[in-house]
Amino acid sequence: MTKMIMVVEDDPMNAKFFELTLKRRGNFDVIVTEDVDQIFSLTRQGKIDMIVMDVSLCNSYYKGERVDGITLSRLIKQEKSSREIPILLATAHVMKGEQEAFLRESGADGYVSKPVIDPNQFIRKVNDLIA
Decide: is 24 part of the binding site for other proteins (CB under 8 A): yes
| Alpha-carbon gap, residue 131 to 115, rounded angstroms | 24
Which residue among 79, 92, 124, 127 contacts other proteins (CB under 8 A)? Answer: 92
> Of 109, 126, 118, whose CA–CA distance to 27 is shortest?
126
Determine the interface stretch with other proteins among 18-26, 65-73, 81-89, 100-108 (rule: CB under 8 A). Answer: 18-26
Q: Which of 7, 131, 118 is nearest to 57 (CA)?
A: 7
Distance CA 65, CA 57 (A): 12
- Positions 112 through 131 that interact with other proteins (CB under 8 A): 114-120
Question: Does 70 engage in binding with other proteins (CB under 8 A)?
Answer: no
Nearest to other proteins of 58, 101 (CB atom): 58
Binder to other proteins among 5, 7, 21, 129 (CB under 8 A)? 21
Using CB under 8 A as the binding rule, the residues of this chain from 25 to 54 that contact other proteins are: none
C-alpha 47/C-alpha 62 separation (Å) is: 21
Question: Which of 12, 64, 80, 84: binder of other proteins (CB under 8 A)?
Answer: 12
- DSSP string computed for 59-90: S-EETTEE--HHHHHHHHHHSTTTTTS-EEEE
Binding site for other proteins (CB under 8 A): 11-14, 16-17, 20-21, 24, 56, 58, 91-95, 114-120
